[in-house]
A = this chain, B = another copy of it.
Amino acid sequence: MSRPTNASTRNAASGEPYVPRLEPRYREIASFLRAPLADTLDGLDIALVGIPFDGGVSNRPGARLGPREIRNQSSLMRGIHHVTRLDPFDQARIADIGDVRFTSVYDLEQVSDDIAAYYRAIREAGVIPLSAGGDHSVTYPILRGLAADGPVGLIHIDAHTDTWDVFQGSKFHHGGPFRLACEAGLIDPVRTVQIGIRGAQNTTQGWDYSDAMGMRVIFMEEVDALGIEGVIAEARRVVGSGSVYLSFDIDSLDPAFAPGTGTPEVGGLTSLQALQLVRGFRGLPLIGADVVEVAPPFDPSGNTALVGATLMYELLCLLTEPQLQSSPS
């Protein structure tokens, strides 16, 4: 298997080749998970993508700075997983392809179209995207780009169901992507599970919508009662065997673990639970995944971005392992 080449893999002064990913962690250009940079999808299995957009938030902004800081903290990641002993970079051809570009960041509908077009191109190139937001509004256009063959299953880990309706005159905000996706036939509500939901609301609109559509909503109290293993089992039962997308909102974690987010809700997952949860979805036919709502300005210790980077690493392991199984590689 050939790896993508890029401008950074040669010592500029000596011409000597080397692998940046293996250098001391404070060195090198900050890319997602220290992956090589690429300006093309050619030859890639997995594309790491940043979506620096937070124009859809309803509360505190800052997630537009998420991709930058996740890239920075992801230098702390390494290759070989301590449980599986597999290195995703040995399993697949992976590159950081940079950020989605926008025609107009001030126009939510146009942003949605720009993102959808970008992911459509990724899908058409046969590449699987692993994305870093940005606020959660970006997941609807990601699904527009990816779910061209009919509705997919959804594993949605979050403090909020994000199935709210129009807010402040727009339906493209970060509280509504899964209502839009459901209405557009991009996700199958019966194959949708929402995990970690909690926190008061001013209307029951979103909760009601999820219920009415038949989504399986596992509130935080039930997470605590079932245990992570129980949640994994229930989620796998819900999504079944078809294609699945996984969307991880960092505010599913308790704000002691992830204060750097726009709408924190006290009483959430621990980091260890989050990692166990994601690892529980090994082998599912994922068509992509994202980590969203990391807002660095509210993250004094940097831990939120570090958790975000670690979750991207775990998701990358998920995305590369089925490929290992299904192809001789």
A203 to B94, CA, bound (A): 19
Query: Of B59, B85, B221, which contacts A26 at CB under 8 A?
Result: B59
A117 to B96, CA, bound (A): 31
A86 to B198, CA, bound (A): 14
Question: Taking chain A's interface residues, is the majority helix, strand, or loop, or is none over half, making it mixed?
Answer: loop
In contact, B200 and A80 (Cβ under 8 angstroms): yes
Instruction: Pick from A85, A102, A264 the residue with the most CB of B within 10 Å.
Output: A264
The complex is assembled from copies of this chain, and their number is 6
In contact, B255 and A202 (Cβ under 8 angstroms): no
A264 to B305, CA, bound (A): 12
- Chain B min CB distance to A84 (Å): 10
Query: Of B64, B85, B170, B257, which contacts A204 at CB under 8 A?
Result: B85
| Contact indicator per residue, chain A 236-263, by CB within 8 Å of chain B (1) or not (0) | 0000000000000000001111011001
Chain B residues near A306: list those with CB within 8 A. Answer: 255, 264, 266
Within 8 A of B (CB), among A107-153: 107-108, 110, 117-119, 121-122, 125
In contact, A39 and B25 (Cβ under 8 angstroms): no
Chain B residues near A325: list those with CB within 8 A. Answer: none
Known: A7-B38, A59-B26, A68-B30. A169 touches B107 (CB 8 A): yes
**Nearest residue in B to A295 (C-beta to C-beta)?**
B297
- Chain B min CB distance to A236 (Å): 19
In contact, A270 and B255 (Cβ under 8 angstroms): no
Chain B residues near A302: list those with CB within 8 A. Answer: 259, 298
In contact, A98 and B28 (Cβ under 8 angstroms): yes
Chain B residues near A110: list those with CB within 8 A. Answer: 169
List 28 contacting pairs A-B, 8 Å CB cutoff, sorted by A: A8-B37, A10-B40, A12-B40, A13-B121, A13-B122, A14-B118, A22-B202, A24-B52, A26-B64, A26-B68, A28-B98, A28-B99, A29-B98, A55-B55, A55-B106, A72-B72, A78-B200, A80-B200, A81-B200, A82-B200, A104-B168, A106-B170, A107-B170, A200-B313, A220-B272, A254-B271, A255-B303, A267-B275
